[in-house]
């Protein structure tokens, strides 16, 4: 029907849908770096298999492209909507569990989340890090230990958490009044640490971005149960990023980020107003937690 | 070691890496809409299988998150960097081939690409649509036909293409001098169409965004061979989006978007300066193409 017969046109190999994947893989198989080649080719295989498997329609592909575009427009400054998606689709916790296996007895790691700020202000042993945040007072203390039970001195313990509205300083008034509920502490010679702050509460993941669309349309709930964040760095030990979850929080069995792991759900004792064990006089009923973190040695 | 034994903490099901995927899938299995459930669960399965299969490291996951963030920041106005990634990873052409299968004899569809502008200016039969674009003149003519050979009258034929620098008007001076190399034509009673313009040339995909990183690090080339774009909409026919590629272009066997398909690579004849078949006097040597597009009937 068309008179122009271009030489070689019949040898173009990716005519049928079946051959396209093959051709795309063949092209990327030329990638020099073996690790990049392995990863890119695995991405292509899974991307194409996914589309074939669900018989993705054209309008669904268009929807996916718009969804990723929308997620992209929410990537500003420190906010990475794709990390939020990774958290929500369970990829982050898969990565944490797979890349940081722990022997029995060690504290399990969990995700770092989007609200960590490097180099928080240092506070002295036993002081109050809440810096004006509102909520029920809480005393947290314990030790940093090695697997063999030996104390770890001079560990840098970064703590950060929400207030009783479920807000973090970085979501609220960080510029004017922050940081609050955010501190670096040091363990003493016997591995002990202690601080006062306020009880965190459960909070919903931000739903203004592409995540919101996901939550509204699946029945995947968007809550995180109440937790304190910890990042612990100590000489000779593997760094540990984890949470401690309040055992009386809602949503423990439906954390949007799948971060709840055995040993990280802890009871905060209920204490009446009065003089606390460390001598501080608390005028309202408060909570108290004793928790020992167990680190693994670095280098195996 | 920790005295607070929270009730039920041992029953939290996603302790090991093995169980995380199971738990994530179980959560999304509650999604009400069956199609969304199928798609989201397939996304999760493939995402997790990919990470396990390549033993994705933590720093590779971080790199991926930064890569997607960067792609996101290039999503502005009509530019969707994720469509460019879909094109480059062969997903778009897989979708085109899989969702628009064609019987033998019909013109094959290919991707629409990022430079289509809806409702281009209409030009009369046989006129010059180049509007000041620089390059070798080209005459393109032919017919719009049905599979049975019957002509299709009053088809809206949108054409767009690059100039001899490989630029499109939308990448260059669209606001001041555009549109150029961009038109809507109509087929006549006998299905005929004709226009003059200038020859397109091969061009590289934009490499300023996240795509550039991909190209620099894989040996996947970033060129598109010279082509004219067509989008044809006609009563009673399936819409057709396709390209015609110049058979003497470079990169025909390594189109970055995998858009080259059999029957779409065509010879543009070389013609000496002088009076063309339609009576136009061309002062320089020019090219000429006759091509019949064969559409399928809508509704099967």
Q: Residue A123: inside a domain, yes or no?
A: yes
Do A233 and A134 belong together in one domain? yes
Q: Strand pairing partners for A158? A: A184, A231
Residues in chain A: 300
Decide if A166 is inside a domain: yes
User: What are A240's two structure tokens?
Assistant: 């540990």
Query: Are the Cβ atoms of A247 and B9 closer than 8 angstroms?
Result: yes
Tokens of B278: 């339609």
In terms of pLDDT, which residue wins out, A235 or A4?
A235
User: A163-177, A237-251, B226-240 — which is least confidently predicted?
Assistant: A163-177
Query: Is B95 inside a domain boundary?
Result: no
Find, among B289, B291, B293, B286, the residue nearest to B198 by Cα: B286
pLDDT band at B113 (very low <50, low <70, confident <90, very high): confident
Given the structure tokens 């669904």, which residue do they identify? A60
For tokens 């969707």, the residue is B80
Number of domains observed in the structure of chain A: 2
Does residue B232 carry a pLDDT above 90? yes
pLDDT for A209: 67
pLDDT band at A215 (very low <50, low <70, confident <90, very high): low
Cβ–Cβ of A6/B267 closer than 8 Å?
yes
Structure confidence at residue B79 (pLDDT):
78
Quick one: A93 and A28 in the same domain? no
For B220, nearest residue in chain A (alpha carbons):
A28
Q: In the predicted model, what is the mean pLDDT of residues B266-284?
A: 97
pLDDT at residue number B174: 87
Do B47 and B112 reside in the same domain of the chain? no
Average pLDDT value for residue range A248-262? 92
User: Distance (Å) from the C-alpha of residue B208 to the closest C-alpha of chain A?
Assistant: 16
Q: Which residues of B touch A3 (CB under 8 A)?
A: 290
Of B24, B80, B266, Cβ closest to residue A69 = B80
CB contact under 8 A, B9 and A263: yes
**Residues A156, A270 within the same domain:** yes
pLDDT single digits (tens) A35-81: 999 999 999 999 999 999 999 999 999 999 999 999 898 888 777 88
Please report the pLDDT score of residue A5 as a whole number. 36
pLDDT of A235 over the 90 cut: yes
Place of tokens 């017919």: B143
In a domain, B143, yes or no: yes
Confidence of residue A1 (pLDDT cuts 50, 70, 90): very low
Asked if residue B250 is part of any domain, the answer here is yes
H or E stretch at B42: helix B34-53
Share in percent of chain B as helix, strand, coil (round to 5): 30, 25, 50
Decide which of B209 and A193 is more confident: A193
> Does pLDDT of A3 surpass 60?
no
Of A9, A47, A142, which has the smallest distance from its Cβ to B91's Cβ? Answer: A47
pLDDT at B8 over 70: no
User: For the residues of B123-151, what is the DSSP string, one character each?
Assistant: --TT-B--TT--S-EEEEEEEEEETTS-B
Residues B268 and B151 in one domain: yes
Domain presence at residue A300: no
First to last CA, chain B: 70
Percent of chain B residues past pLDDT 90, beyond the cut: 70
**Domain end call among A16, A37, A56:** A56
Residue A175 has a pLDDT of 87
Phi, psi torsion values for B287, nearest 5 degrees: -115, 160
A24 and A149 fall within a common domain: no
Strands B293-295 and B137-146: parallel
Which among B36, B44, B218 has the least Cβ separation from residue A90? B44
Domain shared by A13 and A107, yes or no? no
Q: Provide, as residue numbers in chain A, all residues whose Cβ is less than 8 Å from the Cβ of B139.
A: none
Q: Indicate the pairing of strand A192-198 with strand A137-146.
A: antiparallel
Of B4, B50, B74, the CB nearest to A267: B4
B58-62, B148-152, B243-247: least confident range: B58-62
- SS3 of residue A43 by DSSP: helix
Residues A16 and A98 in one domain: no
The pLDDT assigned to A216 comes to 65
Q: Of B19, B35, B56, which residue sits at a domain end?
A: B56
Four-CA torsion B143, B147, B150, B151, nearest 10 degrees: -30
**pLDDT tens string B10-42:** 433 344 567 899 999 999 998 888 999 999 999
Domain that holds residue A167: 86-295
| Predicted local confidence at residue A10, as pLDDT | 39
User: Same domain for A115 and A189?
Assistant: yes
Minimal Cα–Cα distance from B32 to chain A, Å?
7
Cis peptide before B173 (omega within 30 of 0): no
Beta-carbon neighbour count of residue B268 at 10 Å? 25
Cα four-point dihedral sign B54, B57, B63, B67: positive
Q: Kindly report the nearest CA distance between residue A137 and chain B, in angstroms.
A: 19
Q: Give me the torsion for CA of B292, B243, B259, B76, rounded to 10°.
A: -160
Choose among B48, B252, B269: nearest Cβ to A91: B48
CB contact under 8 A, B263 and A2: yes
Q: Is the pLDDT confidence value at A8 over 80?
A: no
CA distances from A48 to A112, B39, B76, B173, B205 (A): 31, 13, 26, 37, 22
Cβ neighbours of B66 in A, within 8 Å:
80
Of A38, A48, A73, the CB nearest to B72: A73
Q: Are B184 and B246 in a shared domain?
A: yes
The conformational region for residue B264 under phi > 0 = left, psi -120 to 50 = alpha, else beta, is alpha
At residue B54, does pLDDT exceed 60? yes
Q: Is residue A143 part of a domain?
A: yes
Host H or E run for residue A27: helix A17-28
ipTM of this predicted structure: 0.86
pLDDT confidence tier of residue B300, bands split at 50, 70 and 90: low
Q: In which band, very low, low, confident or very high, does the pLDDT at B226 lie, cut at 50, 70 and 90?
A: very high
Nearest to B258 by CA among A20, A48, A44: A20
B126-142 pLDDT, tens digit each: 999 999 899 999 999 99
Stretch B242-265: mean pLDDT: 94
pLDDT, chain A, mean: 89
Helix (H) or strand (E) holding B231: strand B227-233
Q: What is the DSSP letter of A238?
A: -
Establish if B63 belongs to a structural domain.
no
State the smallest CA–CA distance between residue B89 and chain A in angstroms.
Answer: 6
Judged against a pLDDT cut of 90, whether residue A286 lies above it is answered with yes
Neighbours of A6 (CB within 10 A): 20
Cα(A148)–Cα(A296) distance, integer angstroms: 9
Please check the confidence at residue A272 and state whether its pLDDT lies above 50.
yes
How close does chain B come to A63, measured CA to CA in Å?
A: 11
pLDDT attached to residue B222: 79
Chain B residues touching A50 at Cβ < 8 A: 42-43, 46
- In B, which residues are within 8 Å of A220 by CB distance? 27-28, 30-31
Whole-number Å distance between alpha carbons of B273 and B104: 38
Pick A20's closest partner by Cβ from B56, B90, B262.
B90
Give yes or no for residue B208 having a pLDDT over 80: no
Mutate to test the interface with A, among B31, B55, B265, B290 (most CBs of A within 10 A): B265
Question: pLDDT digit string (tens) for A146-177?
Answer: 999 999 999 999 999 999 998 999 888 888 88
Minimal C-alpha gap between A239 and chain B (Å): 13
Residues B114 and B51 grouped into a single domain: no
The two tokens of residue A250 are 């809602």
Closest approach of A275 to chain B, Cα-based (Å): 22
Same structural domain, B113 and B190: yes
Residue A12, token pair as written in the block = 């173009």
Per-position DSSP letters for B60-119, written without gaps between them: HHHHHHHHHHHHHHT-BTTB-HHHHHHHHTTHHHHHHHHHS---TTSPPP----TT--SS
pLDDT, position B5: 37
Which CATH number goes with the domain that contains B161?
2.60.130.10
Give the chain A residue whose CA is nearest to the CA of B97. Answer: A17
């Amino acid at each position: 029907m068309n008179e122009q017969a271009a030489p070689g046109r019949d040898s173009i190999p990716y005519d049928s849908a079946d051959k396209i994947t093959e051709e795309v893989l063949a092209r990327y198989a030329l990638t020099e770096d073996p690790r990049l080649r392995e990863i890119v080719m695995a991405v292509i295989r899974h991307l194409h298999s996914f589309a074939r498997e669900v018989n993705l329609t054209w309008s669904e592909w268009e929807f996916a492209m718009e969804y990723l575009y929308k997620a992209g427009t929410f990537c500003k400054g420190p906010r990475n909507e794709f990390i939020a998606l990774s958290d929500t689709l369970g990829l982050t916790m898969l990565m944490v569990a797979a890349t940081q296996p722990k022997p029995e007895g060690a504290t399990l790691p969990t995700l770092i989340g989007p609200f960590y700020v490097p180099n928080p202000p240092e506070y002295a042993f036993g002081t109050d890090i809440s810096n004006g945040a509102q909520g029920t007072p809480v005393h947290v203390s314990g030790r940093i230990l090695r697997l063999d039970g030996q104390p770890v001195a001079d560990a840098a313990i970064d703590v950060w958490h929400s207030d009783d509205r479920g807000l973090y300083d970085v979501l609220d008034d960080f510029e004017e009044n922050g940081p609050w509920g955010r501190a670096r502490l040091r363990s003493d010679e016997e591995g002990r640490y202690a601080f006062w702050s306020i009880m965190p509460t459960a909070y919903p993941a931000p739903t203004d971005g592409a995540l919101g669309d996901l939550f509204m349309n699946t029945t995947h709930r968007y809550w995180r149960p109440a937790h304190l964040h910890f990042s612990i760095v100590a000489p000779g030990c593997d760094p540990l990023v984890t949470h401690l979850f309040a055992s009386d929080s809602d949503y423990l069995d439906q954390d949007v980020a799948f971060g709840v792991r055995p040993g990280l759900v802890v009871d905060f004792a209920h204490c009446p107003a009065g003089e606390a064990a460390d001598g501080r006089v608390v005028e309202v009923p408060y909570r108290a937690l004793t928790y020992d973190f167990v680190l693994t040695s670095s280098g195996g």
